[in-house]
Chain A
């Protein structure tokens, strides 16, 4: 991933900045400029909305054939999380006990390293999920 491509999304990746449709109230992450439900009516009304970072696991998998940046963590666990705001996000699950992973598991977003360009290159940070205490 190139530097500008990552830099452009820093607010989304670090802080979970999404949008809310001013017409129907549906929340989206990442931000969209048009609500797929309201389309024309939503233009200019997609307002910034922070995803607080709490939610529940709706599905999960343990990855044994990793993405290159995640090799040192394999096997690692990916989860899809339904956030309290109603929007769903995909991310890695960290700091958990394997036997406790399952549907409805309550998780919170934390900032972690996602990868790096190279040992001398830029480091990418972004959200991951961990069990709520």
Chain B
């Protein structure tokens, strides 16, 4: 019999170009904040999971989980790094969930950390592209941006999705990001800015793409029956699902759908006994504007092809049909790649605690996070509920 799981503490660094901070600095800051928030002591921690995409290439450092554990004063605590590209954080959270639910561990710290700016921008983008198929996509000139751009073009062709609809993803997420103290971009933008921005990979322009950022986040998990014995206000982690697909975009039968997302969502909804209509908010993987449009369709919030029009209508804005990316999303909050899934969990907990400040969704009861690896080669969805 699986145990129920609660999140009892959260911690998060600011996200952005954090020149003064190293990867270990970021990990320590987020981890200590989460431990303080939960009100636990270091001795109570049974296991540490850390989501990270590519410390090996970005800072030439492997074995980063023991490294960060060491510097938070827990060098003897078992720790492991989880890599699933952009979904590293979300998959680490799923691993933490299983450790607690199974009874193997009681108190688990799940962190995510990425230091993107110790290499140049071109190199950082090249490293991110390692989560696509290096041998049969990028060797031939495909950038990470270009693969999403080709999906965008296909979506536009098949469903009539427009640049303007895509622009409104960025506009909405900047609006939300402006209300998040930890966001990298805290300013609102107009649709014209998105539409007139220099091209990155057509039809995607600069404002269609999330930045590559430094940052870290952490959450503390414990069994549901223990949740009320700690200081931190608990939030229920109701279930999760993971899905996979061909790693190369050209191998997928459908290019307008992320099959990994719909598979992950199906499993997560089944496990939690919830439906898309129960969700008050969703943090989705908007590394590009088109990604959010595909995600809100594949997660079941809107029919295929309706993601663009729904966004333009404002159905995904704060306190509308479904509040999507209240944190600002990857677009405005920032994209510390391997940490993203944990940043999303931090936002979900903030919303369900009623502590999301100016971006609080009214009476938020249930929420979802959606974290994507590569160009959709893997996806993980978590479902959260308010503590009653």
- Chain B neighbourhood of A66, CB < 8 A: 141, 143
- Is B102 an interface position by the 8 A CB rule? no
- Is B20 an interface position by the 8 A CB rule? no
- Chain B neighbourhood of A128, CB < 8 A: 140
- Is A133 an interface position by the 8 A CB rule? no
Indicate if the CB atoms of B139 and A1 lie closer than 8 Å.
Answer: yes
A35 smallest CB distance to B (angstroms):
12
Given A60-B150, A61-B153, A90-B136, check contact A67 B249 (CB 8 Å). Answer: no
Would you give the 0/1 interface string for B350-379, flagging 1 where the beta carbon is closer than 8 Å to chain A? 000000000000000000000000000000
Selected A-B contacts with CB under 8 Å, 25 pairs: A59-B151, A59-B157, A60-B153, A61-B149, A61-B203, A63-B141, A63-B143, A63-B146, A63-B201, A65-B145, A65-B200, A66-B143, A67-B142, A67-B143, A68-B122, A68-B126, A69-B141, A80-B150, A80-B255, A89-B136, A90-B137, A90-B249, A103-B157, A114-B140, A114-B141
The total of chain A residues at the interface (CB under 8 A) is 35
Which residues, 67 to 90 on A, are CB-close (under 8 Å) to B? Answer: 67-70, 75-76, 78-80, 88-90
- Chain A's closest residue to B203 (CB) is A61
CB-contact partner of A58 in B141, B154, B248, under 8 A: B154
- Is B129 an interface position by the 8 A CB rule? yes
> Complex formed: what's the CA distance from A39 to B154 in Å?
29
- Chain A neighbourhood of B139, CB < 8 A: 1, 114-115, 124, 126
> Complex formed: what's the CA distance from A70 to B198 in Å?
19
- Is B44 an interface position by the 8 A CB rule? no
Most chain B CB atoms below 10 A, which of A64, A68, A89, A128:
A64
- Is B138 an interface position by the 8 A CB rule? yes
Given A30-B136, A67-B143, A80-B249, check contact A59 B153 (CB 8 Å). Answer: yes
> Complex formed: what's the CA distance from A92 to B129 in Å?
16
Q: For chain B, give the interface size range.
A: 35 or more
Which residues, 85 to 130 on A, are CB-close (under 8 Å) to B? Answer: 88-92, 103, 114-115, 124, 126-128
Indicate if the CB atoms of B141 and A92 lie closer than 8 Å.
Answer: yes
> Complex formed: what's the CA distance from A5 to B138 in Å?
14
- Chain B neighbourhood of A61, CB < 8 A: 146, 149-150, 153, 201-204
- Is B135 an interface position by the 8 A CB rule? yes
Tally of contacts, chain A with chain B, CB under 8 A: 94
- Is B250 an interface position by the 8 A CB rule? yes
- Is B43 an interface position by the 8 A CB rule? no
Which residues, 145 to 183 on B, are CB-close (under 8 Å) to A? Answer: 145-147, 149-151, 153-154, 157
- Chain A neighbourhood of B200, CB < 8 A: 64-65
Question: DSSP majority for the B interface?
Answer: helix
> Complex formed: what's the CA distance from A65 to B203 in Å?
13
> Complex formed: what's the CA distance from A66 to B200 in Å?
9
- Is B273 an interface position by the 8 A CB rule? no
- Is A41 an interface position by the 8 A CB rule? no
- Chain A neighbourhood of B250, CB < 8 A: 80, 88-90
- Chain B's closest residue to A129 (CB) is B140
- Chain B's closest residue to A115 (CB) is B139
- Chain A's closest residue to B137 (CB) is A90
> Complex formed: what's the CA distance from A130 to B135 in Å?
21
Give B residues with C-beta under 8 Å from A.
122, 125-126, 129, 135-143, 145-147, 149-151, 153-154, 157, 198-204, 246, 248-251, 255
> Complex formed: what's the CA distance from A78 to B255 in Å?
15
- Chain A neighbourhood of B204, CB < 8 A: 61
B13 smallest CB distance to A (angstroms):
27
- Chain A neighbourhood of B248, CB < 8 A: 90
- Chain A's closest residue to B132 (CB) is A90
Given A63-B146, A80-B150, A80-B250, check contact A90 B199 (CB 8 Å). Answer: no
- Chain B neighbourhood of A63, CB < 8 A: 141, 143, 145-146, 149, 201
- Chain B neighbourhood of A91, CB < 8 A: 140-141
Indicate if the CB atoms of A65 and B143 lie closer than 8 Å.
Answer: yes
> Complex formed: what's the CA distance from A89 to B168 in Å?
32
Indicate if the CB atoms of B135 and A67 lie closer than 8 Å.
Answer: no
Indicate if the CB atoms of A65 and B141 lie closer than 8 Å.
Answer: no
CB-contact partner of B125 in A36, A64, A65, A126, under 8 A: A65
Indicate if the CB atoms of A65 and B154 lie closer than 8 Å.
Answer: no
4 pairs of A and B residues whose beta carbons are closest in the complex: A61-B149, A88-B250, A59-B150, A59-B154
- Chain B's closest residue to A103 (CB) is B157
CB-contact partner of B255 in A59, A62, A64, under 8 A: A59
B27 smallest CB distance to A (angstroms):
29
- Chain A neighbourhood of B126, CB < 8 A: 67-68
